[in-house]
């Protein structure tokens, strides 16, 4: 999505790609920290080993759901606006590639929802009865990332305003140099 948006060489795609780099970093950091939390307790990352964590670890589950929904680009979370800008900018230049990429997002959403269902819903295996919910130290690492994900989903202009001048300048520079180089 980053490369697709930037390759569009228009301001909308460029902003989407740039913002997606930042958003991907915050969302991925959340996901890795969340996996680390469960690994620290269970010493496994296997999806088939779990089920029913929603009732046993409600705070953990809430943070995981937020991170998963941000990763699939749910409106109101930071992943949405950067994906939307990238796709809208890229659609002007790369219609079929953009459609194929959007289909990839749908497949990813399906996989992530399937994962949420397998790990958090259903019956908790008896061997996990001793699991404890996320602690304050772990929350202290995840809450700032969650706040960024929510705030940039509601008010993306906090980042877009900062990036707009650079994106416009880069697009104008490339267009000017391509005109000089290729005589268009």
- Residue 18 resides in a domain: yes
Among 75-79, 149-153, 157-161, 167-171, which stretch is predicted with the lowest mean pLDDT? 167-171
Structural domain contains residue 182: no
Answer whether residue 168 shows pLDDT above 70.
Answer: yes
Q: Are 112 and 71 in contact (CB under 8 A)?
A: yes
Q: Residue 178 falls within a domain, yes or no?
A: no
Mean pLDDT (whole number) for 149-176: 92
In a domain, 55, yes or no: yes
Question: What is the residue range of 109's domain?
Answer: 2-7+14-163
Q: d(Cα 99, Cα 105) in Å, to the nearest integer?
A: 10
Number of domains in the chain: 1
Q: Please check whether residue 173 lies inside any domain of the structure.
A: no
The contacts of residue 42 (CB under 8 Å, 6+ apart) are 49, 50, 128, 131
Whether 116 maps to a domain, the answer reads yes
Q: pTM value?
A: 0.89
pLDDT at 182: 55
Domain-located, residue 64: yes
**Per-residue pLDDT at 48:** 85
Residue 26 inside a domain? The answer is yes
């Amino acid at each position: 999505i980053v490369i697709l948006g930037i390759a569009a060489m228009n301001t909308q795609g460029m902003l989407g790609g740039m913002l997606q780099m930042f958003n991907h970093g915050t969302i991925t950091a959340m996901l890795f920290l969340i996996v680390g939390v469960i690994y620290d307790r269970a010493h496994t990352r296997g999806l088939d080993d779990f089920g029913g964590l929603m009732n046993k670890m409600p705070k953990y589950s809430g943070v995981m759901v937020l991170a998963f929904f941000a990763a699939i680009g749910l409106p109101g979370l930071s992943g949405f606006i950067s994906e939307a800008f990238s796709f809208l900018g890229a659609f002007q230049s790369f219609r079929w590639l953009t459609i194929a990429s959007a289909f990839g997002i749908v497949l990813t959403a399906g996989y992530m929802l399937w994962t949420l269902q397998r790990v958090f819903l259903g019956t908790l295996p008896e061997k996990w009865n001793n699991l404890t919910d996320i602690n304050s130290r772990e929350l202290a690492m995840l809450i700032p990332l969650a706040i960024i994900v929510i705030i940039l989903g509601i008010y993306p202009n906090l980042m877009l305003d900062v990036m707009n001048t650079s994106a416009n300048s880069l697009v104008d520079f490339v267009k000017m140099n391509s005109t000089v180089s290729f005589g268009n």
